[in-house]
Amino acid sequence: MNTRLRCLLIDDELPGLMYLKMLCEQIPDLEIVRTFNDPEKLIREMPSLNFDLCITDIEMPGVDGLHLAEALKDKLIIFITAYKHYAVDAFDLNAVDYITKPVKKERLEVAVEKARGRMDRKTEARNSMQANTDKGRSIVYFDTVVYIKTAAIDSRDKEILLDDGSLLLLKNINFKTLLEELPANDFCRINKKEIIALNQVSFFSHNEITLSQRGQNEKKITLSVSEIYRSDFLAKVKI
């Protein structure tokens, strides 16, 4: 399932930011999560943002694009700048690409395709994660997960339903951390308490998702999708 890259756009100059947003809206592979004209604000809000790619200007007051990239750690970065002399620094940070202004749509599409390739390779390379469970440190293989929900007894814990019908309790982990570990192409949060594996979706309506997995009553599992997460779910299942 080929999901769009969730993208942040940053430029301290509003005309440049709006122009970049206009170009990105014409690229089907991108989903614009937020735009910022203040990198310090992005850093403050970063813990609550779910994104794959950041397209950023380099020369900005306060925190420039190079220092911003260091703060974003493992996120994909495309730099945009009017100055060619930053190229070496950009690639030292393992940037996906480096585009000089004025930005053209065709050149931006090339950079996005590079980001897509790197994202796909990263996803393919990881097929599991390690987590603390009620049974000790365990390996969770992504292709065995049906869905993940908040544990009933302690909301800090998360319960995983596996495709063999068994349950695994993850200890003291939040959904943000889980979403960073899980392949974005294959999983989606659908409400405040649940994440599903997209390959388990049998069919869905406006408010409900039915999974192919059956519950204890032998009926297919049905979950609710809330309004705040509906657009992300629809974007993923339609691609």
SS3 of the chain: helix, strand, coil, percent, to 5: 35, 35, 30
DSSP 200-226: GEEEE-SSEEEEEEE-TTSSEEEEE--
Reported as a single tens digit per residue, the pLDDT across 203-225 is 999 899 999 988 777 789 999 99
Helices (H), 126-208: 175-181
**Sequence spans of domains, the chain:** 5-125, 128-237
Which CATH architecture group holds 128-237?
Beta Barrel (2.40)
CA 199 to CA 186: how far, in whole Å?
7
Confidence of residue 1 (pLDDT cuts 50, 70, 90): very low
Per the CB < 8 A criterion, the answer to whether 170 and 133 are in contact is: yes
Q: Which of 21-30, 59-68, 104-113 has the lowest average pLDDT?
A: 59-68
Average pLDDT over residues 13-36: 94
* CATH for 5-125 (3.40.50.2300, 3.40.50.300, 3.40.1190.20, 3.20.20.60): 3.40.50.2300
Region label for 107, one of left (φ > 0), alpha (ψ between -120 and 50) or beta (otherwise): alpha
CA 11 to CA 233: how far, in whole Å?
28
200 vs 181: which has the higher pLDDT? 200
Reported as a single tens digit per residue, the pLDDT across 83-121 is 776 655 655 667 889 898 899 999 999 999 999 988 877
Q: Is the peptide bond before 102 cis (omega within 30 degrees of 0)?
A: yes
**Residue 26 tokens, joined:** 């014409």
Per DSSP (E only), the strands in the chain are: 5-10, 30-36, 53-57, 76-81, 97-100, 128-133, 136-141, 145-150, 158-162, 167-170, 187-191, 194-197, 201-204, 208-214, 220-224
Reported as a single tens digit per residue, the pLDDT across 118-151 is 887 776 657 888 889 998 888 899 999 999 999 9
